[in-house]
Amino acid sequence: MTDRLVTANLNLSLDGRYNGPGGPGDLSAIIPYAVTEVARDHMDRLHENATTAVLGRLNAEGFLGYWPSVADDEKADPRDRGYAQWLRDTEKVVFSTTLTESPWDRTRIVNAPVADVITELKQTEGGEILVNSSASIIKPLLAADLLDRFYLMIAPQIAGGGQRLFEDGLPATRWTVTHQETGKLGELAMVYDRVR
């Protein structure tokens, strides 16, 4: 029996928001820092040991509509190409209440409680399970204390509105910093491991 690590990545503003006051599409506080050297190195790091990508439907549609073309783009940054190739080729689990079949290769659509699905995945063979920038999946994992590692990019801007990742009512947990790096624009790449 295995017990795979469950990891997640997300970009946040300084005030802890993953989008701005304009709603889910408002990433204005985050986008300027998403393609820096530090951000690209961070992206390289997060999928290094992962063999399963977990996404919510909205992120799956956005990611899988964009990244596959980057995989074969010889002009793209090698780190972007590496991530794109990994995303294209790895096993994917997409949470959705509306999709009935997957439009993407190597993808399983699930409509079940997040904690149950991830607990089952942890018992299968494979590398790390990476929850890919999907707050709708990360939040229930934090609530169930199923997250083992957090890859956070902190943008040095206050969004002033939008959705927060850390809501009241989460269980108290302790984390340790295992990697930190500051970029030229003030962006922070942080890796936190859950202390159990």
> What CATH class has 6-195?
alpha beta
pLDDT band at 2 (very low <50, low <70, confident <90, very high): low
Q: What is the pTM of this model?
A: 0.92
Predicted confidence (pLDDT) per residue in 42-66, tens digit: 999 999 999 999 999 988 888 888 8
| Residue 71 confidence (pLDDT) above 50 | yes
Token code pair at residue 33? 């820092």
DSSP string, 24-42: TT--TTTGGGTTSHHHHHH
DSSP structure class, residue 123: T
Residue 42 φ/ψ region, left for φ over 0, alpha for ψ in the -120 to 50 degree band, beta for the rest: alpha
Question: What does residue 40 show for φ and ψ, rounded to 5 degrees?
Answer: -70, -40
Residue pair 123/2 in contact (Cβ under 8 Å)? The answer is yes
Question: What does residue 44 show for φ and ψ, rounded to 5 degrees?
Answer: -60, -45
Predicted confidence (pLDDT) per residue in 163-183, tens digit: 999 989 999 999 999 999 999
Average pLDDT, integer, range 118-137: 95
